[in-house]
A and B are shown apart, each in its own frame.
Chain A
Amino acid sequence: MLYTNPEYRIMGDRALLVELGDHIGMDLHRKVSALFLALNDAPLEGVVEIIPAYGSLLIIFDPLRTRPSLVQEQVRAILKTLDPSRIPEARTLEIPVVYGGEYGPDLDWVAGYHGITPEEVVRLHTSVVYHVYMIGFMPGFPYMGELPKALVTPRKETPRTAVPQGSVALAQAQTGIYPSRSPGGWQIIGRTPRRLFDASRWPPALLQMGDQVRFIAVTEEEMEGWEE
């Protein structure tokens, strides 16, 4: 739910967690985005970093330059006049994906779990526009939602020690893309040739909080030609 009054919790001596709600949803996302934009437009004294997420913002500060109680007061004042409708219009990006086979080792398992064909999983996954709620876990990893109900799938019981770069994956009602090789517990159904993260580019992450994403099924041959 979207909290009527935000919860403020300290995380150690140099961070304040501002919790605006506790679910995955657009109303909460808009409020998080609006507060994030407001705090970027008018930075608070002593604040060194703000990490927005599904339902919260973590405000990291220099403990010798400000205090959590002061930051909390300042945030409370900003929230009073915050207009969550004033966030920029979302961009829509298309992400090509080769589904199944060596690129999507869990596609058949996901299909079996839901009692549908792999083709139906692909059709469902490409049937909706996803919203990028946050970037986290590793540089450039987009947390997107929500999956069609028929695709809501638990995480793998035993996480993989290495998931290849570009892997497109599912976990509960979320879908995401691994920007670089890493351990991971999500179900992998395909792979994209797009580079999700490139430190030499600005912005470094291909997808950003607030973007909209549509997946397009492509063949292995088409993927070859997709290099940026």
Chain B
Amino acid sequence: MGGMKALEILSPGPLTTVQDMGRLGFGRFGVPRSGAADPLSLRAANLLVGNREGDAGLEMTVIGARIKALRNVAIAVTGADLQPAINGLLMKMWRSHVLRKGDILSFKGRRSGCRAYLAIGGGICVPHVMGSRSTNLTAGFGGLGGRPLRGGDVLCCDSPGRHLTSTGKSLDSPPPICCSTNQRLRVIPGPQDHHFSIRTRDLFFSSLFRVTPQSDRAGIRLAGPPIKALEGVDESILSEGVVPGAIQVPGDAQPIILLGETATGGYRKIATVISADLPLAAQLTPGNSVHFSAVSLDEALEAARQTEEMLRRLRSLETDL
């Protein structure tokens, strides 16, 4: 594990976990990907502090944590705008800053989005479990002791001093954070869209769905008009592998956008959110509303390329201190 003590959690907020880009290749053991629900924001935060994109950072939910610096460290906060502040003074998001020994990072309240990401120069050092530092809360492994962070936890990072020179990097046009009303999510229909009538599919694509408070890292639970499967098909299908973004429709006919905490599922999927829009989905909060529009595979790939291009520009950014 190693690393130097860098941050102390004074209070964790409702749910703060260590995440990276997730755990791939263990689905045959029922082990899901986990990882940052909004991977783009964590990748960007890492690049801003001179880390590798896949280094571990913190995912904070809705309220955010209160954190004390135990040494000088480079940090960046991205994702949801929870109004991050250093010693009470608002700090700019999507930009790297120095947190000096004794400084307090806190959050003044949510303005938009659901999940904020904190990257620390050097990355958070916790052991790799099955190739990843992400926390799996269901089985209780990875991250820090397989659990959400709590007050008194100390986080270590690897050679934080080396990253101090990269502060001042900023992303002038950060990716859009989701809208609170009528957020559009682009999807590719299927794999079980044929289990729904054309009329029901039209209803799915023309309706507004509300994000319910039952949403969590496992899935975004929606409420809207009933998306009923065709008459005569069973309530569940044979369990099969799933990806984040798959929109499953259980027996109650209310769709759930799966995030990365499940490897398989036994409900039919009417559509799947494209990779480029997963960050937007992950930022939805209860009360928000969302609608779906179908796009082609080519459109989805073009959007994925644009995301990579944005990150490529970020990698080549010079410090402007």
Residues of chain A having any CB pair with chain B under 8 Å: 9-15, 17, 19, 22-24, 36, 48-58, 60, 63-64, 68, 134-141, 143, 179-180, 182, 197, 199-200, 203-205, 208-209
Inter-chain contact A180/B140, CB cutoff 8 Å: yes
Inter-chain contact A139/B305, CB cutoff 8 Å: no
CB distance from B13 to the nearest CB of A (A): 24
Measured CA separation A26–B246 after assembly (Å):
28
Inter-chain contact A63/B239, CB cutoff 8 Å: no
Inter-chain contact B24/A49, CB cutoff 8 Å: yes
Measured between beta carbons, the chain A residues less than 8 angstroms from B266 are: 137
Contact code string B22-33 (vs A, CB < 8 Å = 1, else 0): 001111111111
B253 interface contact, C-beta 8 A: no
Residues of chain B having any CB pair with chain A under 8 Å: 24-33, 129-130, 136, 138-142, 146, 187-188, 190-192, 238-243, 245-246, 262-266, 269, 272-275, 297, 300-301, 304-305, 308
Smallest CB-CB separation from A204: which chain B residue?
A: B29
Inter-chain contact B30/A24, CB cutoff 8 Å: no
Measured between beta carbons, the chain A residues less than 8 angstroms from B301 are: 13, 63-64
With A197-B139, A199-B141, A204-B130 known as contacts, the answer to whether A135 contacts B274 (CB < 8 A) is no
Between-chain CB contacts (< 8 Å), 11 pairs:
A12-B246, A23-B238, A49-B27, A53-B239, A53-B264, A54-B239, A135-B29, A137-B239, A140-B29, A197-B29, A199-B141
For the A-B complex, the count of residue pairs with Cβ-Cβ distances under 8 Å equals 156
Inter-chain contact B130/A199, CB cutoff 8 Å: yes
Inter-chain contact B238/A52, CB cutoff 8 Å: no
Measured CA separation A56–B269 after assembly (Å):
15
Interface core residue of B33, B191, B240 (most chain A CB under 10 Å) = B240
Measured CA separation A36–B25 after assembly (Å):
12
CB distance from A153 to the nearest CB of B (A): 15
CB distance from B205 to the nearest CB of A (A): 16
Inter-chain contact A136/B30, CB cutoff 8 Å: yes
Measured between beta carbons, the chain A residues less than 8 angstroms from B146 are: 199
Smallest CB-CB separation from A206: which chain B residue?
A: B29
Inter-chain contact A12/B264, CB cutoff 8 Å: no
Inter-chain contact A55/B30, CB cutoff 8 Å: no
Smallest CB-CB separation from B246: which chain A residue?
A: A11
Measured between beta carbons, the chain A residues less than 8 angstroms from B263 are: 51, 136
Measured CA separation A137–B261 after assembly (Å):
10
Measured CA separation A151–B246 after assembly (Å):
33
CB distance from B21 to the nearest CB of A (A): 11
Smallest CB-CB separation from A136: which chain B residue?
A: B264
CB distance from B185 to the nearest CB of A (A): 11
- 6 closest A-B pairs by beta carbon, nearest first, are A58-B241, A51-B241, A136-B264, A12-B272, A199-B141, A51-B27
Interface core residue of A13, A51, A135, A200 (most chain B CB under 10 Å) = A13
CB distance from A12 to the nearest CB of B (A): 3
Measured between beta carbons, the chain B residues less than 8 angstroms from A138 are: 30, 138-139, 262
Inter-chain contact B136/A139, CB cutoff 8 Å: yes
Measured between beta carbons, the chain B residues less than 8 angstroms from A14 are: 243, 275
